[in-house]
Structure 1
Amino acid sequence: MRKILVLGGTQYFGKKLVEKLIANGDDVTIATRGTKTDPFGEKVKRLVIDREQKETLAKAFDGKEWDLVYDQSCFSPIEAKDTSEVLNERVGRYIFTSTQAVYEFGTLHKEENFNAFTFPIEYKGRREYPGYEGYKEAKRASEAVFHQLGKFEVVSSRFPIVVSEDDYTGRLKFHVDKIISGQTIGIPAPDMRYSFIDAEEAADFLLKIGQTDYSGPINPGSSGDISLRELIEKIELLAGKTAIIEETGHSDNMSPYALPGSWSIDTSLAVGLGYKFVDLHKLLDALINHYITAHGKITE
C-alpha cells in the first residue's frame, strides 16, 4: 500500500483525485487549512497546514514520510521552497499541479517552450502575484523551485482549462446561459484559442502518472484547441439561438474566457506515453448540451 500525501485535495479535480486514490487502495493523507469540509470520512488522514506559514508544515509533517506527494495548492515560489525543504528526505516523488499559463500567450505549446530548469527565480509570496500575469509568474517560479532544488523527482502537470458538469467556476456555463437568455457577451478578441481537459480525466491522469517513473513537465488534455468564435458558434448551433457579441464589455457580461491572448498546448507527449483524453469537440458538445438542459429545467 502506497502512502500518499495530497496538499489540498478538497476542491474540484483535486477532490476527484483523492477519491481515485482511495479507490486504488492507497493510504491517503490530505493537508489543508482545515477550513472546508470534505466527503472522505474516515477513508483519509488529515493534517492542518497554512502554505504561507512554513512552521505549520514543519509541525504537521514532523516524523512522517510518504511515497508520493500531489501538490494541488502551491501558488508561490516561497511556498514551493518551504515545502521542498520541509519534505526533503521524507518523500521520493512529487507531482505538482501546474498550468498551461506557464507558457507565453500562444498556441499548441510543447513542453520545451518553457524551461523550468533555467527560469530565474524571484522569491515572492502568493499575495504578490495579482491577476492572470501574476498567476502565470507564480506558477512558473514555483515549477522552477521544485525542479531546480532537486529535493525529489518532480512532475509538473501543465493543465489547460479544466471543465466538467460540476465545474464550480461556471465559465463555460456562463456562455450557454447568456446565449439562451439573449444577453450580451463581451468578447474583445474572438479568435483567441484555448485548450481544455475534462476534470475527471485530469484526476485520472494524475493518478496514473503517479504510478510511473516519469519526471519533468507534461501537457495533459484533449488534443487541439478552439477559438472563442468557434465555441460561440458551437453553442449557437446546439442551443438554436443566436449570440449577441460586443467587442467591448463590462464586468457583468465579459466572457470569462476573454483573456489577453491565446493559451493552448500540444498534448502529443502525453498521448505518446499512452494517456487517453476525450475528443475536444465531443467533450465540449456534451457539456454544452448538459448546460442547455440544466438551463431549461431552471426556467420551467
Structure 2
Amino acid sequence: MDVCVIGGSRHFGRRLIEELRDGGATVTVVNRGSTPPPPGVTHLLADRDDEQALHTALADRHFDTVVDQVCYTPRQAAIATRVFADRTRRYVLTSTVEVYAETGRPGGPALTESAVDPATHPIDLELPWHDQQFIADHYGEGKRQAEALLTRQAPFDTALVRTAHVLGGADFTGRLAHYVRRIEAGLPVAVHPAPQPASFVHAPEIARFLAFTATADFTGPVNAASHGPLDAHELSAAIARELGTRTEPVAAADVTVSVDAETGALFSPFSFDRCYAMDTTRAAGLGFRFSPVADWLPQAVREARA
C-alpha cells in the first residue's frame, strides 16, 4: 500500500509511521519539518493549513490511504477534501474521545459511536478557526466539525478513529507524569467529588489500530480504547500500587482537593464529572480487539517516572 501520513512527528504518530513502514507500506510523511520522520519513508515539507503548498508538495502523487494526525478544525478538513480529492480513495481522521465532551453523564453507560453523529452535527466555517487559542479552547468541537465536514463533503471514503486518552511512550502532554510525581511524593491530587470513568489506550496499541484502519475498508466513526475504564481514584490507586507507595492519595476522600497545587487548574487531568468511557464493540466486530488497561499501565507508569 501507498500511505500518506499528515503530521505524525511525535508520540504515537511516530509509532504509526513505523508500524506502516514495517508492515510493508510505502509511507509518505507530510509536515512542516520541525521533527524528522523515522528513516525509510518519504518526507515532504508543507503546512497543512496552506492549501497551495500542499498541492505543490504532493504534485502528481497518489495514495491508497491518507492518515491525518493533525486535523483540528472543519477548515482544515475542507482543505483536505479539495487537496486529496483525486489523490486517495480512503481517508482516516485521527479524532478523539473529546467529541463526547458534552454527551456523557454521571453514572451513564459507556459511549457508543452513535452518541455523536457526524452526518448531522452542524458545521460553522465562519468561526475563528484561524486563531490557535480558539482552536485549543474548542478542541472537541473542532474535531466534531472536522468529522462532520469529511463525512458529508469528502469525495473519498472516510474513517474516523475516536481515540481514548493515550498513555505511554514519550507523552509530551505530561498528564500521567503529573499523577506519578504527586503520588510518589505523597501529595494529594485534585479531583472531582465523584470522578467518573474514562477510557485509556496504550500508545503502541493506538498506533497499531490506526495502521489496521489504514488498510481496512470500513467507514464512519469507531471508538479506540483499551478495556477497563478508570476513574481518577482508580487510576491513582493503580499508580500507587506500581510505585509501591503505602498510601493512595486520591482514593481517600479526606485528601481529595478541589485545586491542583502543581498546575493551578481546578482539577487534575483525567478527572471528569461525566462518563468518558467508550464502548469498543464496533472495533471488535471489525476484527481488532484492544488489550486490558491492566496489561500495560504499569509499563506506562514506569515510562512516566523515567
Q: Given the two structures, how large is their TM-score scaled by the length of structure 2? A: 0.87
Q: Which of residues 296, 302, 306 is equivalent to 1:283?
A: 296
Partner of 2:87: 90
Amino acid paired to 2:223: N
2:272 pairs with 1:270: no
Amino acid paired to 1:113: A
2:189 is paired with a residue whose SS is strand
Between the aligned partners of 2:148 and 2:142, the Cα distance in structure 1 is: 10
Matches within 5 A, 1:101-180: 101-103=98-100, 104-106=102-104, 107-123=109-125, 124=127, 125-127=129-131, 130=134, 134-180=138-184
Shift of 1:273: 2.1
Q: Which of residues 195, 206, 209 is equivalent to 2:210?
A: 206
What is the RMSD of the two structures over their aligned residues, measured on CA atoms? 2.1
269-278 or 239-248: which moved more? 239-248
2:42 pairs with 1:45: yes
Aligned pair count reads: 290
CA offsets 1:156-197 (integer angstroms, 9 cap, x no match): 000010111432222112112111112332223452221001
CA offsets 1:251-299 (integer angstroms, 9 cap, x no match): 626522234643221011111222122112233244335556x4xxxxx
Partner of 2:238: 234
Does the C-alpha gap of structure 1 residues 114 and 133 become closer, same or farther in structure 2, counting only changes over 3 Å?
A: farther
Which runs of no fewer than 5 residues in structure 2 stay unpaired? 250-254
Partner of 1:298: none
Between the aligned partners of 2:135 and 2:63, the Cα distance in structure 1 is: 34
Matches within 5 A, 1:185-196: 185-196=189-200
2:110 is paired with a residue whose SS is strand
Does the C-alpha gap of structure 1 residues 73 and 290 become closer, same or farther in structure 2, counting only changes over 3 Å?
A: closer
Amino acid paired to 1:91: T
Shift of 1:219: 0.6
Q: Which of residues 234, 239, 245 is equivalent to 2:256?
A: 245
Contact kept, 8 Å, 2:195 with 2:274, in 1: the verdict is no
Between the aligned partners of 2:46 and 2:17, the Cα distance in structure 1 is: 18
Contact kept, 8 Å, 2:31 with 2:45, in 1: the verdict is yes
Contact kept, 8 Å, 1:188 with 1:258, in 2: the verdict is yes
Partner of 1:297: none
Between the aligned partners of 1:156 and 1:121, the Cα distance in structure 2 is: 16
User: What's the % identity of the aligned pairs?
Assistant: 30
2:30 pairs with 1:24: no
Contact kept, 8 Å, 2:229 with 2:277, in 1: the verdict is yes
238-247 or 140-149: which moved more? 238-247
2:277 is paired with a residue whose SS is strand
